């Protein structure tokens, strides 16, 4: 019997198991034997056995393989769902990870489900076939293959252990290494092999390099290094995680075991090293222990779990990941290494997701059947909007469902255009005339913002009155509808929350968000959830905790909401990662979000101060209102604030919100003069009134535009709200008893906005659009300024218009600067977090999907779009202004060029600014100072001194490679200070400058043949006619007609060729001799060969002023170009310059070259 057979027999006898486990699965199951026990091999050592099996054992191995084959077939059936289609999808890349996870999960389940009954051969067979399948499945990624391999080893190990545990058996040698333990026969075993075997047995007992926590949660790793046969002691290394200190110790097995059990093994470092490491470690511990308590607990139990990263906060995530990597390194070589490896891979994947601004590793809660139905219904209604606009149904035809979905979304983005949203009525203070403003409330603005974010162009907006809508458009928040209302036959669609069924926790922004998510046009994210929730609250006058923040409302997003737009909120909630709109903003933040800004040529505009004044005034006014009886008690609503706008000075500018902060739960605004009233409560309104209508379930309104007489009385309303128990007092009582006395014809005021809770009602006064945020100006306003210049109105209005123009330009510039920075900051943050991780983790992290982050990321795309909008606005303003000043033609082209270049420079400069601001680490300050210093020094440098640097730096940019001076330039940049100081600028940049000169000598085009041809009006005419003929000829009916047309075409082509030739001759001659005919005549008849020789004898760049130099330059520029290089030398000694030029012109006319 060979050695293995003996081992197997020994085990069989020990356990009393018949040696028949390889014959059939059924027998083995019945006998409860395990392959592991029988062979006494490490579980995963599959290679062992086959190499040295012989005779009977070999036959048994063959039997085993046959069995494996059978199991493979069974497993193939088990994992059937992994079909070609899924495989293809996975290999396409974008779904690879998801497919991998899914497949792995499925396979793991299959394993564990069968593990209770299976024995090792079965598991081995399964592992082989599944592993093979998985490797094939993900064959495009080697790293994935390795991962699969490792994972399967782990799965098999676990499955085998589970199977064994269920049978009440143990794997491998157990207990202490005392002499009573039967020694396995190892004939011929060397001393080294024996030592190694004992070490292995020790590892089986304590685990591979066990990791343990002491009482103070310090972590140690023990590495079993060697066993001394003579002394019977183990040599171990103990590594202390905190200091990385490693110490060597020798202990007997008993001592070692005791120390491990009592956690008495220490390997602490000392001195500063320990101090530094501990400070570092403590900061990490704080995060690890705080953020991943489950992981710590499991570690303590000797296991590792998958890390749950809760939030997509880049800074917070990168740090822990680095730490996880650190821990992972520490766990290398331990039993949990593979598991840690898997966790690490998972963590990276999650972080990548987090960089995309999504909630990492947090499963989307399963929708209930009702919610699913609702979502389907919203999507169905939304798709009607698209379908009603499709003219040709073939446009959405597709071979597969996926392709169909993609096409549908593409069409949706394309066809959803033409929106209507309600504007606001505004009274002209002078004339009393009411006009509709071109801006929506926060709800409308955010609904439009969400559509933009989803890639829908909302440029075409029509502002309508409340309650009106626009035929053929997508009407947002216009009134009388609830949810998404659309039909295939009718292009008019609605997204609204003003229907009879509408509830108070809705808004058009919310409805729009739900719609876009259900259609797959927008990703549901935490920040958008927060943003929409906030808009919802504002739109429904639902201000949770207002009593706490009202006093400071002037420095909160919540309090300043009427000055916000979608972009401001997006920056607040997403980019700046703020979840709480009621938190106090700093002065800097108030400026950053545009609540405080400076108008060019004007004073600082401080909307925060305005709000502060309102809050302060309201805080004084409300007690006075209460004193005068305008706050009454009710059973159903608690305190009801009553604001009578007829005959009383309005003294609560804070409206309902202020009243709510004061403790009111309902608010009534009564305006008999304008025949309107408004009721708002914080709970469902239970009454019905004889006039007006219920808006959602908490408001009742008779708006000002309802011209019907006011037949209901305030007393009637208040009586109903107090269940007939109204006991008015003070001034309220006086009013209710004789309201006519207080009627005033003038100064009719209506509830501040159609709906309480929207912007005006917060402060109770009508705002003017131009007083809002800088970016909230009326559309088209600035066009007016530019056009005014054009029409000469400037003269008419004099300095006032000029002032307005400057103000407008300042505003546009300010917006552009902000939009540019926002865009670049977002791009930087998204990209740098990815590259940071990639740099840290190397290729393991590399993934093509994230390389393209900037192009595909929805947030970056959003900010880019905002920036593009502002850029266009700025450019158009400047150009219109230029046109208005009479600039035209070439000069206008120059102006445009300057604008473009200025912006290109500004964009790059801002990118530098963003990078400097985000520079991390100890040297952030140094970098900031250096860049600032560099800018200042550069600004101050005289142009004469700058030129050398300009030439060499931009020269390098132009030539791009091979100057050999790039490093000098790089150092020059860093050492600019020293270089300027040393007055050695020319010397320093000499190398690059020379390289640039060299480059230009050889490759700079000097003659623009093609461009010159384009300028020839005769050729332009010929081209037009030829284009017409090319269309006309195939359609010619009569032969005679065809013949005439073809002849004309031939004539024109010949003429064009001739003109090309003439133009080419002129162009080349002009370069050689300019307009100096005399000079040309002097050289034209000279032999070209001789002149070329002279020209080549000197540095052409330095002799561009000479005829020879220029001829030589043409020669140099053409000498490597096909079609010319063989023909540049003179045909004979007599060939003149003129002949040569004509010859070149002839070759060039065939279109072989556009520039020389």
Range 986-1005, binding another protein (CB under 8 A): 988, 993, 996-997, 1000, 1004
Contacting another protein within 910-929 (CB under 8 A): 911-912, 915-916, 919, 921-923, 926-927
Q: Which is nearer to another protein, 226 or 973 (CB)?
A: 973
Which one of residues 247, 390, 892, 931 is an interface residue with another protein (CB under 8 A)? 931
Q: Determine the Cα–Cα distance for residues 863 and 854; give it in Å rounded to an integer.
A: 11
Cβ proximity of 660 and 682 under 8 Å: yes
Angle of CA points 256, 259, 262, to nearest 5° = 150
CB-nearer residue toward another protein: 176 or 1106: 1106
Q: Which of 663, 964 has the CB closer to another protein?
A: 964
- Pick the closer one to another protein by CB: 800 or 908: 908
Q: Which is nearer to another protein, 919 or 1061 (CB)?
A: 919
Nearest to another protein of 258, 1004 (CB atom)? 1004
Q: What are phi and psi of 673, to 5 degrees?
A: -60, -40
Is residue 162 within a helix (H) or strand (E), and if so which, with residue range? helix 142-166
Query: What's the closest the beta carbon of residue 747 comes to another protein, in angstroms?
Result: 54
Helical ranges in 571-693 per DSSP H: 587-592, 607-627, 655-662
Contacts (CB under 8 A) with another protein, residues 152-191? none
Using CB under 8 A, which of 230, 855, 943, 1038 touches another protein? Answer: 943
**Does position 492 bind another protein by CB under 8 A?**
no
**Cβ distance to another protein smaller for residue 455 or 972:** 972
What is the spatial distance between Cα 772 and Cα 770, in angstroms, rounded to a whole number?
A: 5
Query: Contact between 613 and another protein (CB under 8 A)?
Result: no
3-class secondary structure per residue, 1003-1054? HCCCCEHHHHHHHCHHHHHHHHHHHHHHHHHHHCCCHHHHHHHHHHHHHHHH
User: What is the smallest separation between the CB atom of 28 and another protein, expressed in angstroms?
Assistant: 58
Phi, psi (degrees; rounded to nearest 5) at 524: -70, 125
Of 463 and 988, the one with the shorter C-beta distance to another protein is: 988
Nearest to residue 495, comparing CAs of 447, 539, 462?
Answer: 447
Q: Which is nearer to another protein, 587 or 936 (CB)?
A: 936
Nearby residues of 316 by Cβ (< 8 Å), 6 or more positions away: none
- The least CB distance from residue 348 to another protein, in Å, is 22
Site residues (CB under 8 A) for another protein, limited to 1102-1141 = 1102, 1104-1105
Q: What is the 3-state secondary structure (H, E, C) of 249-269?
A: EEEEHHHHHHHHHHCCCCCCC
Choice between 968 and 1042, CB closer to another protein: 968
Closest separation in Å from C-beta 919 to another protein: 7
Q: Which of 91, 322, 951, 1029 binds another protein (CB under 8 A)?
A: 951
Per the DSSP assignment, residues forming a β-bridge with 639 are: 633, 664
CB atoms within 10 A of CB 489: 7
The answer to whether residue 322 forms part of the interface with another protein (CB under 8 A) is no
Q: Does 280 bind another protein (CB under 8 A)?
A: no
Span interacting with another protein, options 296-304, 389-397, 742-750, 1100-1108, rule CB under 8 A: 1100-1108
Indicate the angle between helix axes 924-940 and 889-917, nearest 10 degrees: 150
Closest to another protein by CB, 113 or 908: 908
How many residues sit close enough to another protein to count as binding (CB under 8 A)?
A: 72
Q: Please list every residue from 878 through 907 that binds another protein, using CB under 8 A.
A: 890, 893-894, 897-898, 900-905, 907
Query: x-or-dash pattern for another protein, window 1002-1031, by CB under 8 A?
Result: --x---------------------------
Site for another protein in 953-982 (CB under 8 A): 953-958, 960-961, 963-964, 966-978, 981-982
Q: How near is the Cβ of 967 to another protein at its closest, in Å?
A: 5
922: number of Cβ within 10 Å: 6
Subset of 744-803 contacting another protein (CB under 8 A)? none
For residue 638, the SS3 value is strand
Distance, in Å, from the CA atom of 511 to the CA atom of 463, rounded to the nearest integer, reads 19
Residue 177 or 916 having the CB closest to another protein: 916
Give CA–CA dist 763/421, Å, rounded.
23
Among 844, 1042, 1101, 1128, binds another protein (CB under 8 A): 1101
Closest CB 949 distance from another protein, rounded Å = 6
Considering only residues 501 through 520, tell me which ones interact with another protein, judged by CB under 8 A: none
Regarding 719 and contact with another protein (CB under 8 A), the answer is: no
CB of 92 to another protein, least distance (A): 30
User: Which pair of structure tokens corresponds to residue 247?
Assistant: 């110490």
End-to-end alpha-carbon separation of the chain, Å? 88
If binding is defined by CB under 8 A, does position 27 make contact with another protein? no
Tell me if 38 sits within 8 A of 17, measured CB to CB.
yes
Tokens encoding 771:
């007083």
Q: Which is nearer to another protein, 506 or 963 (CB)?
A: 963
Nearer to another protein, 600 or 981 (CB): 981
Least distance (Å) between residue 957 CB and another protein: 4
Paired tokens of 1054? 């010949």
The burial class, CB within 10 Å (0-12 / 13-18 / 19+), for 406 is middle
Q: Which is nearer to another protein, 14 or 902 (CB)?
A: 902
User: CA–CA separation, 1139 vs 1086, rounded Å?
Assistant: 10
Structure tokens at 1078: 């005399």
Applying CB under 8 A, which part among 169-177, 283-291, 849-857, 949-957 lies near another protein?
A: 949-957
Cβ 841 to another protein, closest distance in Å? 17
Q: Is 388 in the site for another protein (CB under 8 A)?
A: no
Q: Which pair of structure tokens corresponds to residue 71?
A: 């199991």
Candidates 439, 435, 434, 436; CA nearest to 449 is: 439
* Stretch 52-81 residues interacting with another protein (CB under 8 A): none
The residues near 397 (Cβ < 8 Å, ≥ 6 apart) are: 404, 407
Asked if residue 1 binds another protein (CB under 8 A), the reply is no
User: Any residues with CB less than 8 A from the CB of 822 and at least 6 apart, and which?
Assistant: 567, 571, 575, 863, 866, 867
Provide the minimum distance between the beta carbon of 1058 and another protein in the complex, in angstroms, as a whole number. Answer: 30
Give the nearer residue to another protein in terms of CB position, either 973 or 1042.
973
In angstroms, give the least distance from the CB of 918 to another protein: 10
């Amino acid at each position: 019997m060979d050695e293995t057979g003996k081992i197997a027999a020994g085990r069989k006898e020990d356990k009393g198991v018949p040696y028949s486990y390889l014959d059939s699965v059924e027998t083995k199951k019945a006998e409860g034997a395990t392959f592991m026990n029988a062979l006494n091999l490490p579980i995963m050592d599959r290679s062992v056995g086959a190499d040295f099996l012989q005779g009977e054992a070999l036959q048994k191995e063959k039997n085993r393989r046959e069995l494996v084959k059978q199991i493979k077939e069974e497993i193939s059936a088990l994992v059937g769902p992994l079909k070609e289609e899924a495989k293809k999808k996975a290999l396409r890349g974008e779904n690879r990870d998801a497919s991998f996870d899914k497949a792995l999960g499925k396979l793991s389940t299959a394993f564990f489900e069968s593990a209770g009954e299976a024995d090792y051969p079965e598991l081995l067979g399964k592992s082989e076939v599944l592993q093979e399948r998985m490797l094939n499945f993900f064959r495009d990624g080697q790293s994935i293959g390795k991962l699969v391999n490792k994972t399967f080893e782990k799965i098999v190990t676990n499955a085998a252990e589970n199977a064994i545990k269920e049978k009440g058996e143990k794997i491998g040698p157990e207990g202490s290494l005392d002499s009573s333990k039967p020694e396995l026969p190892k004939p011929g075993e060397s001393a080294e092999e024996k030592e190694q075997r004992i070490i292995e047995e020790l590892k089986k007992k304590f685990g591979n390099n066990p990791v343990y926590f002491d009482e103070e949660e310090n972590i140690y790793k023990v590495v079993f290094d060697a066993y001394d046969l003579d002394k019977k002691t183990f040599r171990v290394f103990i590594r202390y995680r905190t200091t990385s200190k490693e110490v060597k110790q020798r202990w007997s097995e008993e001592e070692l075991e005791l120390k491990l059990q009592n956690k008495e093994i220490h390997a602490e470092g000392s001195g500063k090293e320990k101090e530094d490491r501990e400070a570092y470690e403590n900061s990490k511990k704080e995060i690890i222990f705080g953020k991943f308590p489950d992981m710590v607990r499991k570690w303590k139990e000797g296991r590792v779990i998958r890390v749950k990263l809760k939030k997509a906060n880049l800074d917070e995530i990168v740090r822990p990941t680095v730490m996880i990597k650190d821990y992972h390194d520490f766990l290398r070589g331990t039993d949990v290494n593979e598991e840690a490896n898997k966790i690490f891979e998972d963590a990276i994947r999650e972080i990548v997701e987090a960089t995309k601004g999504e909630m990492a590793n947090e499963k989307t809660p399963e929708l209930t059947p009702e919610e699913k139905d609702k979502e389907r219904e919203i999507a169905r209604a939304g798709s009607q909007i698209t379908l009603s606009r499709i003219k040709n149904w073939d446009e959405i035809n597709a071979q597969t469902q996926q392709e169909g979905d993609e096409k549908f979304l593409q069409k949706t983005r394309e066809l959803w255009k033409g929106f209507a949203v309600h504007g606001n009525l505004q009274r002209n203070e002078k004339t009393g005339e009411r006009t509709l403003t071109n801006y929506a409330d926060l709800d409308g603005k955010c609904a439009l913002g969400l559509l933009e974010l989803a890639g829908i162009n909302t440029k075409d907006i029509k502002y309508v009155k409340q309650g009106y809508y626009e035929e053929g458009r997508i009407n947002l928040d216009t009134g009388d509808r609830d949810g998404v209302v659309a039909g295939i036959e009718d292009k008019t669609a609605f997204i609204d929350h003003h229907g009879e069924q509408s509830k108070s926790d809705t808004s058009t922004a919310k409805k729009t968000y739900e719609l876009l998510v259900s259609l797959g046009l927008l990703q549901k994210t935490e920040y958008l959830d927060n943003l929409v929730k906030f808009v919802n609250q504002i739109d429904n006058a639902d201000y949770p905790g207002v009593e706490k923040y009202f006093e400071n409302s002037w420095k909160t997003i919540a309090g300043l909401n009427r000055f916000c737009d979608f972009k401001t909120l997006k920056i607040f909630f997403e980019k700046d990662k703020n979840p709480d709109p009621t938190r106090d903003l700093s002065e800097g933040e108030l400026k950053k979000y545009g609540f405080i800004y400076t108008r060019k040529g004007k004073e600082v505009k401080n909307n925060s101060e305005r709000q502060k004044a309102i809050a302060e005034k309201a805080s004084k006014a409300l007690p006075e209102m209460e004193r005068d009886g305008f706050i009454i008690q009710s059973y159903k609503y608690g305190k009801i604030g009553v604001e009578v706008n007829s005959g009383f000075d309005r003294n609560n500018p804070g409206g309902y919100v202020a009243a709510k902060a004061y403790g009111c739960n309902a608010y009534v605004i009564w305006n008999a003069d304008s025949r309107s009233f408004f009721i708002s409560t914080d709970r469902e309104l239970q009454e019905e009134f004889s006039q007006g209508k219920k808006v959602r379930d908490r408001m009742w309104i008779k708006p000002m535009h309802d011209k019907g007489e006011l037949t209901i009385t305030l007393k009637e309303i208040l009586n109903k709200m107090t269940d007939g128990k109204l006991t008015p007092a003070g001034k309220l009582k006086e009013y209710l008893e004789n309201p006519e006395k207080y009627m005033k014809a003038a100064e009719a005021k209506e509830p501040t906005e159609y709906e309480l809770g929207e912007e005006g009602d917060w402060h109770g006064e009508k705002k003017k659009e131009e007083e809002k945020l800088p970016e909230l100006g009326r559309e088209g306003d600035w066009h007016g300024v530019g056009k005014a210049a054009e029409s000469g109105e400037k003269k008419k209005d004099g300095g006032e218009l000029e002032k307005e123009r400057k103000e407008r330009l300042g505003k546009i510039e300010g917006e552009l600067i902000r939009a540019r920075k926002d865009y670049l900051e977002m791009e930087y943050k998204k990209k740098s977090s990815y590259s940071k991780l990639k740099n840290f983790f190397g290729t393991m992290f590399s993934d093509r999907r994230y390389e393209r982050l900037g192009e595909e990321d929805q947030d970056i795309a959003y900010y880019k779009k905002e920036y593009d909008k502002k850029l266009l606005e700025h450019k158009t303003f400047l150009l219109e202004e230029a046109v208005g000043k009479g600039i035209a033609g070439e000069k206008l082209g120059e102006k445009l060029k300057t604008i473009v270049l200025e912006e290109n420079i500004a964009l790059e400069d801002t990118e530098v600014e963003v990078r400097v601001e985000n520079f991390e680490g100890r040297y952030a300050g140094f970098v900031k100072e250096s860049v600032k210093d560099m800018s200042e020094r550069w600004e101050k440098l005289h142009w004469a001194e700058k030129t050398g640097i300009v030439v060499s730096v931009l020269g390098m940019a132009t030539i791009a490679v091979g100057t050999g001076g790039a490093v000098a330039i790089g150092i020059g940049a860093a050492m600019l200070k020293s270089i300027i100081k040393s007055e050695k600028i020319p010397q320093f940049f000499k190398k690059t400058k020379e390289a640039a000169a060299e480059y230009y000598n050889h490759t700079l085009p000097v003659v623009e043949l093609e461009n010159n041809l384009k300028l020839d009006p005769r050729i332009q005419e010929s081209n037009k006619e030829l284009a017409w003929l090319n269309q006309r000829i195939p359609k010619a009916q009569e032969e005679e007609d065809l013949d005439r047309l073809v002849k004309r075409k031939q004539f024109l082509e010949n003429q064009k060729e001739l003109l090309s030739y003439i133009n080419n001759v002129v162009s080349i001659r002009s370069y050689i001799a300019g307009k100096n005919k005399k000079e040309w005549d002097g050289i034209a008849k000279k032999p070209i060969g001789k002149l070329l020789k002279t020209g080549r004898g000197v540095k052409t760049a330095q002799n561009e002023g000479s005829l020879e130099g220029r001829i030589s330059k043409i020669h140099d520029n053409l000498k490597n170009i096909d079609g010319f290089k063989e023909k540049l030398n003179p045909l004979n000694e007599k060939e003149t310059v003129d002949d040569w030029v004509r010859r070149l012109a002839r070759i060039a006319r065939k279109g072989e070259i556009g520039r020389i």
